[in-house]
Structure 1
Amino acid sequence: MTARAAILPAGPDTVARAARVLAAGGLVALPTETVYGLAARALDPTAVARIFAAKERPAFDPLIVHLADSADLPRVAQLPPDGDLRRRIDLLTAPHDSGGLWPGPLTLVLPRHPEVPDIVTAGLDTVAVRVPAHPVFRAVLAALGEPLAAPSANPFGFVSPTTAAHVADQLGDRVDLILDGGPCAVGLESTILDLRAPVPRVLRHGAVTLEQLRALLGEVTTGPAVLDRPEAPGQLARHYAPGVPVALLPQHVGAPGGPVGAAWLLVLDGPAPAWATDYARVIAPAQDGDLTRTAVALYGVLREAGAAGVARLDVLACSEEGLGAALLDRVRRAAM
């Protein structure tokens, strides 16, 4: 594919067009509440292979399957009729007014249905599944009538896209269509939760916090953050790379040694410290302590720093609590 994909504003006609492209085995970049995804029919291994080729993604890294509704779970996962696993699934996938977290930025790792192709799961006996909240993605799922596999719509290992323009910049000649649903409201990938073990495990920190999960389920632990052979997406060491050096500074550090004049500083939480004035640029999205602002801004800052070719991007750390765990995870991988 060499022609540049059209960026189309999302609406009833373009949603229908996207569904037709997907039904024919094509690739469509779609907005989610987290980041833009590169979608193909999840049960069509030939279509899914195009995702891996477009992203240059290793075959051992599994994909997330997106569903229109939690009622569609039996199409891709084997669900027990009762027991702890079933109870947890029911709690997490309940409507929001009943305390559940779907639709939303939470991916569940569950026993895989035999009809899910090996290429989607990297040959694992599990499948990663979520129901997205973004109305455009949900409209496409409804129009298509089948699940979609959709990793982030960027070359493998690089910064995830949070606007349609980001997708066009990096994958514009590798996709058939880009639907523009505006900037992503969350800005970080989904939390991935493995429900198979006696104690649920967070495999990737994301927009749903560990504290939220514990409030709903009780005991929840965390799995290894980095694996050579991933159990779920986002577990490889090097990820979210902006193409310039990134350094994570301790939260309560004083002024870093050495010259910083050509470097940028990103402050994850709170206002910029007094010693930051020597930086060429200082970005502090969460001056009021609201880390959701930093989450929305993070990938844009990484992308800007890479495009500007800055000497270094220093990132002043935040607490590991709440959304801070996901922010620090992304920065640590970008810094490797």
Structure 2
Amino acid sequence: MIPPNPDDTRLLPPTPEGLAEAARQLAAGALVAFPTETVYGLGGDARSDLACARIFEAKGRPRFNPLIVHVADLAAARRIARFDDRAERLAGAFWPGPLTLVLPLAEGAGLSPLVTAGLPTVAVRVPEHPVARALLAVFGGPLAAPSANPSGRVSPTRAAHVMAGLAGRIAAVVDGGDCAVGVESTILGLDGPARLLRPGGLPAEALEAALGQPLASGDNGGGDAARPSAPGQLASHYAPGAAVRLEATEAGKDEIWLGFGPQAAGAALNLSPAGDLVEAAANLFHYLREADALAGNGGRIAVSPVPERGLGRAINDRLRRAAAPRG
């Protein structure tokens, strides 16, 4: 097998010319990474079996793990998913934005079956990032777009992160700068009782306020950690090369301390010296990468406790999966 050549992946500017080239590549079945407000997504035509198969191949992603479909607006989402009153209310309140809804697949949706991993549901969202929205408009169709990184590894929040992991495996990266939110979208299952399938960039408390009821936690019966019904549910995920230890109040031998808050003043890196969960979420994946580089071979990353509220739920979800035993 010929190894990938990093020079085969182009870095495109978010200009009309760059977006036109990205759309041309996508229309030809190639893969293009692009920024969203959460993380960079690895885009492929969600209607194309070939493009979707290439996503799984480029990432080394198991094919039983479904993909999120990104669309330009609510009208486009209604063409691929069946919306009830709850879904309409949440889409009206939080789209465009970091919310993914898992809904029954619409008849005649026209999506590749690889997108849904054979499930009767589809994960869909309308991103807020202006570059993502411009690309969707120019492309004119739905894009399947998981995070643009090798499967199970730290998600990318900068174009350089994408190039480090996927250069030579994809056609292009549209460089739209740093991602503001920094953790993936919140995933809410609405094919039954409302269930939080993955905490993310939209706090669960905001969803509960909009629905007027608490959310159930966990899966909806359609999957589990071995065969998920939504992305981001695999037990080991978002992992750096170094092993991760949680609830650390200081660094042990051969450990790099990734701190949080003023009490971690001695940490090598601090997600937020002020204890701001929004800042911590934005820094999480980039700092995990930096800590991994500092740890080197045989080192470990020790991570301070993060409050389990608001965006802290998403941060802790990512950290627990990063620290999980690896297969």
Per the normalisation by structure 2, the TM-score is 0.91
Distance 1:157 1:110 in 2: 25
Aligned equivalent of 2:254 = 262
Q: What corresponds to 1:83 in structure 2?
A: none
Query: Any conservation in 2 of the 1:188–1:207 contact (CA below 8 Å)?
Result: yes
Report the alpha carbon displacement of residue 327 of structure 1 after superposing the two structures with TM: 0.5
In the alignment, which residue of structure 2 is the partner of 1:162?
157
Q: Distance in 2 between matches of 1:5 and 1:91?
A: 40
* Partner AA of 1:202 in structure 2: L
Gaps of 5+ in 2: none
Tell whether the 8 Å contact from 2:269 to 2:291 is kept in structure 1 after alignment: no
Please give the secondary structure, in 1, of the residue aligned with 2:127. Answer: coil
Residue 272 (structure 1) aligned to one of 263, 280, 283: 263
Aligned residues: 312
Report the CA distance between 1:91 and its aligned residue: 1.2
**Change over 3 Å in CA distance of 1:179–1:4 after alignment to 2:** same
Decide whether aligned partners of structure 1 residues 294 and 137 sit closer, same or farther in structure 2, where only a CA change above 3 A counts: same
Q: Which residue does 1:6 correspond to in 2?
A: 10
Does residue 285 of the first structure (1) align with residue 271 of the second (2)?
yes
Work out the CA distance in 2 between the residues paired with 1:286 and 1:303: 16
Q: State the 1:285 CA deviation.
A: 3.0
Question: If you compute each CA radius of gyration, which structure gives the higher value, 1 or 2?
Answer: 1
Match of 1:34 in 2: 38
Paired residue for 1:329? 317
Q: Does 1:107 align with 2:100?
A: yes
Q: Tell me whether 1:149 sits opposite 2:136 in the alignment.
A: no
- What does residue 192 of structure 1 align with? 187
What is the DSSP-based 3-state SS (H/G/I as helix, E as strand, rest coil) of the residue aligned with 1:157? coil
* Residue of structure 1 in register with 2:231 after alignment: 233
Counterpart in the other structure of 2:88? 90
Q: Residue type of the partner of 1:15? A: L
Structure 2 partner of 1:202: 196
SS at match of 1:141: helix
- CA apart distance, 1:261: 4.9
Q: Percent identity?
A: 51
1:15-164 mapped onto 2 (5 Å cutoff): 15-79=19-83, 86-94=84-92, 100-114=93-107, 115-164=110-159
AA matched with 1:37:
G
Paired letter, 2:103:
L
Distance 2:78 2:277 in 1: 35
Match of 1:246 in 2: 244
In structure 2, how many angstroms separate the alpha carbons of the residues matched to 1:7 and 1:302?
Answer: 24
Structure 1 contact 244–309 (Cα < 8 Å) conserved: yes
- State the shift of 1:87 in Å: 1.6
Q: 38-47 or 110-119, which moves further after superposition?
A: 110-119
1:177 maps to which residue? 172
Looking at structure 1, the residues matched to 253 and 230 of structure 2 have their Cα atoms a distance apart, in angstroms, of: 39
Tell me if structure 2 keeps the 8 A contact 1:7–1:178: yes
Contact 1:92 1:101 in 2 (8 A): yes
**Matching residue within 293, 300, 318 for 1:307:** 293
Against the structure 1 CA distance between its residues 290 and 335, is the aligned structure 2 distance closer, same or farther, given a 3 Å change threshold? same
Whichever residue aligns with residue 315 of structure 1, its letter is: V
Q: 1:245 offset after TM fit, Å? A: 1.2
TM-score by length of 1: 0.89
Structure 1: runs of 5+ lacking an equivalent: 80-85, 95-99
Q: Residues 292 and 301 of structure 2 are in contact (CA less than 8 Å); yes or no, is this contact kept in structure 1? A: no
How far apart in 2 are the matches of 1:158 and 1:178?
Answer: 18
Contact 1:272 1:284 (8 Å CA) reproduced? no
Partners of 1:307 and 1:260 in 2: how far apart? 17
Is the 1:8–1:180 Cα contact (8 Å) retained in structure 2?
A: yes
Distance in 1 (alpha carbons) for counterparts of 2:111 and 2:271: 41
Bigger CA drift: 135-144 or 69-78? 69-78
1:54-85 Cα shifts (integer Å, max 9, x gaps)? 00110000000000001112221133xxxxxx
Letter paired with 1:271: P
Alignment partners' CA distance in 2, 1:287 and 1:294: 9
Deviations 1:80-103 (A, max 9, x none): xxxxxx221221111xxxxx1000
